Structure 1
Amino acid sequence: MGCGNLFFSLVITFSAALITYNIIISANASLKQDFPDPSSTKSAASSFSVDPVIKMPTDLSSTSKTSKRLFHTAVTASDSIYNTWQCRVMYYWFKKQKNKPNSEMGGFTRILHSGQPDRFMDEIPTFVAQPLPDGMDQGYIVLNRPWAFVQWLQQAKIEEDYILMSEPDHILVKPIPNLSRDGLGAAFPFFYIEPKKYETVLRKFFPEENGPITNIDPIGNSPVIVGKDALKKIAPTWMNVSLAMKKDPEADKAFGWVLEMYAYAVASALHGVGNILYKEFMIQPPWDTTIGKAYIIHYTYGCDFDLQGKLTYGKIGEWRFDKRSYDNIWPPRNLTLPPPGVPESVVTLVKMVNEATANIPNWGS
């Protein structure tokens, strides 16, 4: 029995080392040779009508009304307090929304890229991924995200045919259907992802023979719903392009903290996977003031207001909610609600955080 366990452990260790070796070698090899041949990959976007403004399908007649197309929600995270409390809140709302009408939400995985299990493994379904080798992220911890996805996609048993890539600071305000269709992913368009503006830089990673720069969608990797088989192809390229961009001084300077987002957009385009750009996928308070038809609240920005409900962005408000206030401590239960006049989106965000923390056992420990 002991010998069997030892043999199994050696196999797992060797496999992990081999995967790491292949990723590192491919990241330092010529990227062009790893790119798919454009003649062998045809963008699915060319096969049906697409709205020119938000790229939502205008031909819905072929959409099935009977069979569900379940997707698996995956969230990458470190073991920091900051990421952990957000993941616990996120998973609370995932469970609340999963079985409601119109949901096509399947399983859930927190991809923990700290390399070690933590004490929340029993609370949140978790896959433990190894971080990049020391120094390889060059201080840009987000580079662990594509590497973590590569490991998860190669090693985990994923029942669903689609993946929703989400983030710890996402709160699901209603059940999410599978917004992807006909080989296209479904993604949120970010105003600050501007492929045309940075065409000269991006051509290093997306050569002209791959098509016009507009083939690169203004997206990151999250939120994105994409076919599992497509993501298995995209993820290693996303990893390679991320590392190559970080090593390139011009790209690193141009893209900064959103470098990994550009890398995913490039990788998706290189594999001929277009995306339906869905503006109502999520909102980002305080700039988006109403919930509307959104599925996700992304609380990436600080919310600062005076007691009259006026936004004081750039200046700490008399009332505030900013996730960065809780980078090393747990947010307390029953956060003070915003004063009158604060937008619906911010009020809803704080109420949803409060509900989660009130109901999650052993909050703050």
Structure 2
Amino acid sequence: MYYWYKKFKDAPGSEMGGFTRILHSGKADNFMDEIPTVVVDPLPDGEDRGYIVLNRPWAFVQWLRKADIPEDYILMAEPDHIFIRPLPNLATEEMPAAFKFFYIVPTENEKVLRKFFPNEKGPIANIDPIGNSPVIIKKSQLEKIAPTWSDVSIKMKDDPETDKAFGWVLEMYGYATASALHGIRHMLVKDFMLQPPWDTDLGNKYIIHYTYGCDYNMQGKLTYGKIGEWRFDKRSFTTGAPPKNLTLPPPGVPETVVTLVKMVNEATASIPGWKGGE
């Protein structure tokens, strides 16, 4: 991610400012000299309830309090995001910009959400179908949302019905609900991000999100749910970095997947000292 940020930061059309990796381990790691990093504390032992993502909103609360941030707007993004072209500021003074996730559906979860978003706050549709990432938001708005995001996410995790309903996307609902509690609606930007293998055309998108495994046979046919003869899946590299020069997909695989692998290969070939498996 950081490699491609640096490639596009000063390109025509970019409005990208500084870059900060927020590290919520409470201690420095071996990337501190390579990537601009702010270290914050994790939640106290046991407070994440076995759901490590609860540390994310708490990390933003700490970062916003301790960091000197000269920019007026903040992009929240994740390590499995790759910039594929220069990113302008998609937000406005009034409305942050966000990506709509098909699996975040507040209107289908009104029963549990009303525990955290009471009727007097308005219709449940005031909760946007988003997570916190990718989001471009005015810093002053995020400073209001972040503490509520942390509190609401913890309360959701502590409620068995809500925890069961939302599972691994609970913290995403936490961000969306916290935003709505502050009366902040997001502009849903379709071109913000694409997600292979489901998105097959690059179009005018800004970010590739490689969250899903990409499995294909050698005829270029998707075999999702079954390990393919050719595959790219970030979960294959949980114990170490990917090797250089990954094999490109076979003919017929969509351009989004081909572009993803080519961009990974360029980054690993260009980053000094890159060693696969470490």
TM bracket, shorter-chain basis: over 0.9
8 A contact 2:22–2:37 mirrored in 1: yes
- 1:269 partner SS: helix
Asked which structure has the greater CA Rg, the reply is: 1
1:149 pairs, out of 60, 84, 92, with 60
Counterpart amino acid of residue 356 in structure 1:
A
Which residue of the partner structure matches residue 29 of structure 1?
A: none
| CA displacement at 1:114 relative to structure 2 | 0.7
* Shift of residue 160, structure 1, vs aligned partner: 0.2
- Structure 1 residue 330, shift from structure 2 partner: 1.4
Q: Could you list the per-position Cα deviations for residues 125-168 of structure 1 after superposition, in whole angstroms to 9, with x for gaps in the alignment?
A: 00001011111111111111000000000000000000000000
1:202 corresponds in structure 2 to 113
Q: Which residue of 1 aligns with 2:251?
A: 340
Taking the aligned partners of 1:245 and 1:196, their CA distance within structure 2 comes to: 17
| Structure 2 residue 166 is the aligned partner of structure 1 residue 255 | yes
Counterpart residue identity of residue 184, structure 1:
M
Secondary structure of 1:107's aligned partner: coil
CA distance in 2 between counterparts of 1:209 and 1:287 reads 38
| Aligned counterparts of 2:240 and 2:57: Cα–Cα separation in 1 | 27
For residue 75 of structure 2, what is the aligned residue in structure 1?
164
Question: In structure 2, what is the Cα distance between the partners aligned to 1:267 and 1:345?
Answer: 33
Paired-residue identity, % = 73
Please give the alpha-carbon distance, in whole angstroms, between the structure 1 residues aligned to 2:260 and 2:44: 37
Q: Structure 1 CA distance, aligned partners of 2:241 and 2:186?
A: 36
Measured after TM superposition, the shift of residue 237 of structure 1 is 0.1
1:122 Cα shift?
A: 1.1
> 211, 235, 238: which one pairs with 1:327?
238
CA distances 1:320-344 after superposition (whole Å, capped 9, x unpaired): 0000000002100000000000000
After the TM superposition, which parts of structure 1 deviate over 4 Å for at least 4 consecutive aligned residues?
Answer: none
Contiguous gaps of at least 5 residues in structure 2:
none
Q: Deviations over 1:181-215 (max 9, x none)?
A: 13100000000000000001000000010011111
CA distance in 2, matches of 1:340, 1:158: 45
* Pick aligned residue for 1:188 from 90, 93, 99: 99
User: Residues 55-83 of structure 1: CA distance to partner in whole angstroms, max 9, x if unpaired?
Assistant: xxxxxxxxxxxxxxxxxxxxxxxxxxxxx
Equivalent position amino acid for 1:94 in 2: Y
Aligned: 1:112 with 2:28: no
1:9-88 equivalences under 5 Å are none
Note if 1:305 corresponds to 2:216: yes
2:189 alignment partner in structure 1: 278
Partner residue of 1:221 out of 126, 132, 138: 132
Assess if the C-alpha contact under 8 Å between 2:106 and 2:113 holds in 1.
yes
Question: What's the counterpart of residue 156 of structure 2?
Answer: 245
Instruction: Give the structure-2-normalised TM-score.
Output: 0.98
> In structure 2, what is the Cα distance between the partners aligned to 1:176 and 1:299?
18
* TM-score, structure 1 normalization: 0.75
1:317 and 2:228 are equivalent in the alignment: yes
Structure 2 residue 276 is the aligned partner of structure 1 residue 362: no
Choose which of 295, 304, 314 in structure 1 pairs with 2:206. Answer: 295
Question: SS in structure 1 opposite 2:211?
Answer: coil
Greater length-normalized contact order (CA 8 Å, ≥ 6 residues apart): 1
Judge conservation of contact 2:130–2:172 (CA < 8 Å) in 1.
yes
Cα contact 2:93–2:138 (8 A) shared by 1: no
Partners of 1:185 and 1:270 in 2: how far apart?
15
Secondary structure at the aligned position of 2:215 is classed as: strand
2:48 counterpart of 1:137: yes
Write the distance in 1 (CA, Å) between the matches of 2:143 and 2:274.
36
Match of 1:148, SS state, is helix
Q: CA deviation at 1:273?
A: 1.0
Equivalent in 35, 38, 48 of residue 124 of structure 1: 35
Provide the C-alpha distance between the structure 1 equivalents of 2:256 and 2:122, rounded to a whole number of angstroms: 39
Equivalent residue number for residue 6 of structure 1: none
**Distance of 1:250 and 1:145 partners within structure 2:** 22
Question: Considering only aligned residues, what root-mean-square deviation do their CA atoms show, in Å?
Answer: 0.6
